[in-house]
Chains A and B, each alone.
Chain A
């Protein structure tokens, strides 16, 4: 069927030559496991993000933005769908096993989905800062991704995340032009979400990062993080907001903004499933999973070969 490689060296030479791996290839087990973990984490994060987005549909102000949140929720759940298909095809876990692991708290999702969104300002900050971090991260994976099915699905996902980011920029403009109370609410949201969003990029990349070696990542975490700081500090300052980083520095010669020391403890806690909102989020998702069991049972009971 697919291709085989006699050794990891052989496989890595194939990757170095720009080779793309397809689902029917006999890829090395370590590569298969790494690709699977990466896509499962991405899928889980899309789903958990979509569930929070859904919580805000009734509370979103104004019809235009409410409709946009409906679309964004559908996008995030849709991305989860697409990614779970790609992950399941790797044959490590079925889609249902992945979902059961997620709702039982046995598998991870990104740090930013371990925090509560308390106000509309938080939703605006998430849409700007978190989507603003997700887009460059996903683009960096897409750019040189060695796993074909993931690369092709990412193309679609990135295009839709672009809509979300522009929605975030529009929301910020609206809230920046709002009342003093609205501006104060958004300043609080920046203060709460700045660091979690910045930590989404993760600690500095290690030189022996296997994901980089296998062309699942094409950019170092610290480079993407620096680009994010450089984009959002001037934008928020321009609207008259502040950024909660006492160590933030600005080089007037190069006009480059650099963030201060980063506390990684909160990231470790979220990765250990111990974030500020982890338990509630998993409990809610798990309850939704249980309450929709009848749908899965009905689908499973559909006779094989049933034709519309």
Chain B
């Protein structure tokens, strides 16, 4: 028995989304079980499945350094403050 992760996508611009998981002995039955458990009302137009053992996982520690990179954002506040002070001084 293998565990598969299920991703569904609707047509259009939406990305694939994780829907859940399912146990199945092989790929063929995994697809069938996924359709009957996660797509009974056509909740997606496309289905991706991946054996959990094949998932590549970047965990929180791996991702963490990028949660502290404020120089990659620009909220525009500096320019706004400068313009405001210019307006008020004229």
How distant is the Cα of A307 from the Cα of B25 in the complex, in angstroms?
10
Q: Using an 8 Å CB-CB cutoff, how does the interface string of B11-46 with A read, 1 for contact, 0 for none?
A: 000000001111101111101010011101001000
Of the candidates B25, B31, B59, B60, the one whose C-beta lies within 8 Å of that of A299 is B25
Chain B residues contacting A75 (CB-CB under 8 Å) are 40
Report the Cα distance A75→B40, complex, angstroms.
8
Binds B, one of A34-42, A77-85, A188-196: A77-85
Tell me the number of A-to-B contacts counted with CB atoms below 8 Å.
50
**CA A281 – CA B52 in complex, angstroms?**
35
What secondary structure prevails in chain B residues at the interface with A? mixed
Q: Is the CB of A152 within 8 A of B20?
A: yes
Chain A nearest CB from B29 CB (Å) reads 8
Whether the Cβ atoms of B20 and A82 lie closer than 8 Å is yes
Q: Number of B residues whose C-beta is below 8 Å from A?
A: 22
B1 interfacial by beta-carbon distance below 8 Å: yes
Candidates B22, B23, B59; contact of A1 at CB < 8 Å: B59
Q: Is the CB of A3 within 8 A of B20?
A: no
- B-side contacts of A89, CB under 8 Å: 21
Q: Are A85 and B22 CB-contacts (below 8 A) given A2-B60, A300-B1?
A: yes
> Does A153 contact B20, Cβ atoms closer than 8 Å?
yes
User: B23 to chain A: which residues have CB within 8 Å?
Assistant: 85, 95
B-facing residues in A127-171 (Cβ within 8 Å): 152-153, 156
CB closest chain-A residue, reference B28: A308
Min CB gap B25→A, angstroms: 4
Partner of A302, one of B19, B26, B33, B37: B26
Closest residue of chain A to B17 (Cβ to Cβ) is A152
Taking CB atoms, residues of chain A closer than 8 Å to B33 are: 81
Given contacts A300-B25, A308-B28, contact A82 B37 (CB under 8 A): yes
B69 to chain A, nearest CB (A): 21
Q: Any chain B CB within 8 A of the CB of A286?
A: no
Contact partner of B31 (CB less than 8 A), chosen from A85, A300, A306, A308, is: A308
Q: A81 with B26: in contact, given A75-B40, A300-B1 (CB under 8 Å)?
A: no
